Chain A
């Protein structure tokens, strides 16, 4: 009985501190995440995230139509290694893990009004969403996310390098 009481105290304190910390932490997450791949990229959802659905391109043929205009820059959010193994033709690499080191060069090369589409490895991968957020924070005005990523593009037989 005593043990049960002690376990309840430890667990109770943990639960209270956990939700309190999550509420005040800048890294806190929503109580329910988005874990349905049919609805888009799976993510825990930060508690103060802007709605990203509008940025998501779920129809890969639409992304291809934008690609064919030749005006849209495709930005690969995956690691450099993954990029070298295969990427969308004419896409540029900006690994989200090396964003801080590479963003200054990127800013010099591409204007803020340049339309761009980020991608990574599909709907279980959030890196493209994260990169899109970072680019928008830097002032890029026209950023979308191709949520099916490189595997989806490759499966359609669209141009790769």
Chain B
């Protein structure tokens, strides 16, 4: 069993695939937020967990942080540091969505543009999806050999 886990953690192709899956996912996730920060700010407001002065700042910065770590993972620039940020973000997302699931908080602003952005079924699938991504992120983090197809890595 331990050998099996070790072989997973040492698999360089799996590490590459995990980095690319995470990278492409984060590019996709950041795309709409970059284009429509006002809608994203409304979604952050809907979580009902952030102080009002922080909402717009998060909406401005987070999409670009996601984009930067995504590009870093795909190009292999500081991959280990990038995946640490990714894992911190994923743990935060999982925490926030879980808190709202547990306390039964649903945000429905009745907004045409943001329909179905905060219901319980989608929250649960979001948590499960993020746990899957976190597993990939942990593999990339724990991988200690030279990585494939990297521009700039520190081992």
Contact = CB atoms under 8 A, between A and B. Distances in A.
Contacts of B78: 6, 9-10
Interface stretch (A40-48, A52-60, A102-110): A40-48
Contacts of B45: 33, 35, 42, 124
A43 B111 contact: no
B1 interface: no
Interface stretch (A24-32, A67-75, A133-141): A24-32
Contacts of B107: 124
A120 B110 contact: yes
B67 A14 contact: yes
Given A10-B72, A27-B36, A42-B45, A32 B110 contact: no
B56 A30 contact: yes
Secondary structure type dominating chain B contacts: helix
Contact of B64 (A17, A35, A122): A17
B42 interface: yes
Most chain A CB within a 10 A radius of its CB, from B35, B67, B112: B112
Interface residues of A, number: 45
Given A21-B34, A126-B42, A3 B81 contact: yes
A147 interface: no
A29 B52 contact: no
Interface string B59-80: 1110111011100100000101
Interface residues of B, number: 38
Given A44-B37, A127-B111, A18 B61 contact: yes
A17 B37 CA distance: 14
Contacts of A2: 154
B75 to A, nearest CB: 12
Interface string A7-22: 1011101110111011
A2 B155 CA distance: 11
A112 interface: no
Interface of B: 34-38, 41-42, 45-46, 52-53, 55-57, 59-61, 63-65, 67-69, 72, 78, 80-82, 84-85, 107, 109-113, 115, 154
Interface of A: 2-3, 6-7, 9-11, 13-15, 17-19, 21-22, 27-33, 35-36, 42-46, 77-79, 82, 95-97, 120-122, 124-127, 149, 151
11 contacts: A3-B80, A6-B81, A19-B61, A27-B38, A29-B41, A29-B59, A33-B45, A43-B42, A96-B112, A124-B111, A149-B110
